[in-house]
Amino acid sequence: MKKFKFLSIFSRYIISYAAVMAILYIGVGIYVSKSYHSAIQTSIVEENTNRLSSLRMQHEQKLSLLLRIANQLSLSPYISPFKLADNPMKAYQLKQQLASYNSADVFFDQMYVIFHSDDYLYSSSTTVPLDLFTNKLMTYEQLSPEDLRSLLRKKDDKIAILQNYNVQSVLNTNPNKNMITVIIPLRLDGRFSIGNVLFQIQDDSYQKMFSDEIHQSRNMYIFCGDSIISAIKRIDVPDEVILNSIKEKEPEEKPFRELIIDDGTRYLLFIQQGSVLDLNYVSVIPEETVQMQAARSRLAFALFMLLLSIPCSLLIIYFTRKHVKPIKELQQSIGVPTNSGDGFLAIRKGIESLIGQNKALHTRLDESKPAFKAAFVKKFVKCRFLTRESAVNFASGLGINIDRTYFCVSLIAAVNNAGNMLERFNALISEEADVDGCGMEIVEQEQYLFVLFADKREGLVSWANAAQQLLSSLDKEAVIAVSNIHVDYSEASRAYLEASTAYDNRFVMGNEDVLWFSDIASTAKDMEPFTRGYLESFRKALHAGNARTLNDRINDLFQILRDKKFSLFAFRIIYKEIISMLLNKYLSYDGVSIDMLHYYDTFELSRCRQVGDLVETLRQLCNDILIIEEQNACECSSVIRQVIDYIRENFTDPDLSMGAVAEKYGLSASRLSLEYKEVTGIYPSEYLLLLRLEKAKQLLANTTMPVKDVCTAVGYYDSSGFIRRFKKHMAMTPAQYRTAVKNGKIQYDT
């Protein structure tokens, strides 16, 4: 090593490069030597597997044709059991129908039909007595006439396939030919066994399926159970060895391949199980074939490496000269003498230090930008920016120009094993000149959320179509959903819900195109007028301060929405308005936790997949608010508190009026109404009406009192006025309400 240090730079690099080349040659040679056999074997395995799959597909296609013919005969209105002696015209019609299945390209050679109730076989050309057919006209090698007759007379639902027998018959086109026989049950209307269909197939048809354009030493078989239906044999392997290997494997282990040994000779065995009947497709090749191909490949590679070493040596000399000069110049630039040994280590350390510093800086910048962009997307769709200007300034600091006329929200399904998916779609945004925006990943929902801004609607549509093409290239089953195009930034939460709704409709709308919210068939028709009307009713119920009353209002909401068949999106919008109304009032209380804002979280809202989920969340919020209401009840005016208690205790009194209540507490009726409204949010007359109607609902649901008596019991003299108020409040008369509760259409907790 010391002598090596005193060599010239040129000599040192020549020796170093030569050593590297030698190590590479040795390593590659060892690797190729060990891996060529595996590679060649894999190639041969793939070739034989594909050939076997081709054989299986061809054969099953032919068998499926026979099954279809049998099914068509079973379902034919002209096929029904008969006896030739009783109805010869039916025999003629049957022969005519069988003639329609004879053509030049059919798989079978002959087709016969026999009924259980008859003693004749029918074909397109002849009618033959069964005994004459089995004893004289059709002689099977190794199959007695009695066995053949038994097979033709079988009444079970199993399909029989006879192995390749030599058949002598004057009825076939070739009187002495090897035949494969298939017997398929014939069922009336596809249910009741009435006979059998016999198909005779020449073995030549099977040999054509075994034929291969590239000749290879291998055997191929088609097994049915323990019998060989047909085979082509080019190597000498006992059939029993192959059959035993098939029996050793369970059905779920097929297809498989394994090594078998017979008399010291090793073979590769391939087996595939058919999907039609109990068939196995087998291929056998000698392992010697793999070894011979691997040896030829090793020899060719060795010659190639030997020839390659000549240009490699010349390249080593050339690049050594090219590298020595700049290395000496670098040594001088960093103050290392050119004759002081190899100064490349010092150069490398300086460059690595600089690269490390730059990489750390870029890493910190790259890691921070996605986090800030994700924060912007989340704040934007939650409407956390108080003004449009604040949103524009925040995005501008991230290099995003959102000061544009239109915007939309898009949800894209995450694709497994598609790395840097967020970066790909962000890059797609930068490619659109008229579109800007960014996205974030919603891990728990396996989605990507994007907000897009453009000066023209066409720009957003163009981006959505381009994103769909990119997504299809990654995964054809993935989905992209887009909201309506909006202008007002305060509608960002609504845009997110629209995109989420379109995404939820992917199973109905499909995934071949962009899922636009505007394409959803079920719209929130008449939603806003209903929302405004219900909010007022809900607000009055909440101010009553009674959990049961509030629960009834929520049940009413659920019932009305179900009857009107509003979509889940419509219910989400109604829910959003209700939550907004509740939080605007009750978040103003001192000491209220800001954690209640999670009820208004846009992402939390979109996770509700059913109306029942939203109803339960609404109940929980109302319970929290009632607790806050009770905690703040002590802050109410003592007079108003007394008025509330007095109305609650005496609301069934028909003579109770606001004037009488005001006089009792030394106030004027107008002053009482104003102070009561200021403290509770509703007028005392509204509170009185609410209590009376709730009591009426209880009596209607739980008693059989006549409507007139219910009217008197809740504090009304005039039954018509009571019915009018009840119908205005519940959208149905008292009698209709009682019937709805009785029929289970409305739930009322007793």
Kindly state the average pLDDT of the residues 102-107.
Answer: 69
Judged by average pLDDT, the poorest of 135-144, 352-361, 461-470, 662-671 is 352-361
Q: Is the dihedral of CA 492, 497, 501, 503 positive or negative?
A: positive
* DSSP 8-class letter at 434: T
SS3 134: helix
CA proximity to 696, closest of 722, 714, 678: 714
Calculate Rg over the CA atoms of the chain: 44
Residues in the chain: 750
Instruction: From residue 510, give the alpha-carbon distance in Å to each of 21, 418, 505.
Output: 57, 22, 8
Torsion of CA 579, 582, 585, 588, to 10 degrees: -60
pLDDT digits (tens, 9 = 90+) for 542-589: 666 666 666 777 777 766 666 655 555 666 666 666 666 666 655 555
Q: 525 — phi, psi (to 5°)?
A: -65, 140
Bridge partner list, 409: 451
Whether the upstream peptide bond of residue 255 has omega within 30° of 0, thus cis, is: yes
For residues 449-474, average pLDDT: 90
| Euclidean distance between CA atoms 174 and 109, whole angstroms | 9
Instruction: Give residue 349's pLDDT.
Output: 57
Which amino acid does the sequence have at 272? Q
Contacts 24+ apart (CB under 8 A), 122-131: 122/91, 122/94, 122/95, 122/98, 123/95, 123/98, 123/171, 124/95, 124/98, 124/99, 125/95, 125/99, 126/171, 127/84, 127/91, 127/95, 128/171
Query: Which tens digits make up the pLDDT trace of 144-181?
Result: 999 889 999 888 888 889 888 888 887 776 777 888 99
Q: CA of 373: how far to CAs of 364, 424, 439, 459, 580, in Å?
A: 15, 15, 7, 21, 27
Q: Is the whole model's pTM more than 0.75, yes or no?
A: no
Spatial neighbors of 266 by CB under 8 A, at least 6 apart, are: 259, 260, 286, 287, 288
Q: How confident is the model at residue 508 (pLDDT cuts 50, 70, 90)?
A: low
Neighbours of 319 (CB within 10 A): 12
Contact 127, 121 (CB under 8 A): yes
**CB under 8 Å to 474, separation ≥6 — which residues?**
415, 418, 421
- What confidence score (pLDDT) does residue 3 get? 45
User: What is the C-alpha to C-alpha distance for residues 108 and 68, in angstroms, rounded to an integer?
Assistant: 13
Residue 702's contacts (CB-CB under 8 Å, 6 or more residues apart) are 748, 750
In the predicted structure, residue 6 carries a pLDDT above the cut 50: no
Q: Quick one: pLDDT at residue 240?
A: 85
Q: At what angle do helices 734-742 and 719-730 cross, to 10 degrees?
A: 60
What stretch of H or E contains 22? helix 9-75
pLDDT band at 525 (very low <50, low <70, confident <90, very high): very low
Identify the pLDDT of residue 725: 86
What is the distance between the alpha carbons of residues 337 and 328, in angstroms, rounded to a whole number?
Answer: 9
pLDDT 10s digits, 195-212: 999 998 888 888 888 887
Which of 366-380, 449-463, 498-512, 678-692 shows the highest mean pLDDT? Answer: 449-463
Q: Is the pLDDT of residue 441 over 60?
A: yes
Sign of the Cα torsion 334, 336, 342, 345 reads negative
Q: How far apart are CA 219 and CA 283, in angstroms?
A: 6
Name the E strands within 110-234: 110-115, 120-122, 127-129, 138-140, 160-169, 176-188, 192-202, 219-224, 227-232
Q: Which of 326-330, 451-455, 689-693 has the lowest mean pLDDT?
A: 326-330
HSE of 396, CA atoms in CB hemisphere, 13 A: 8
pLDDT of residue 533: 56
Torsion angles phi and psi, residue 483, rounded to 5: -75, 180
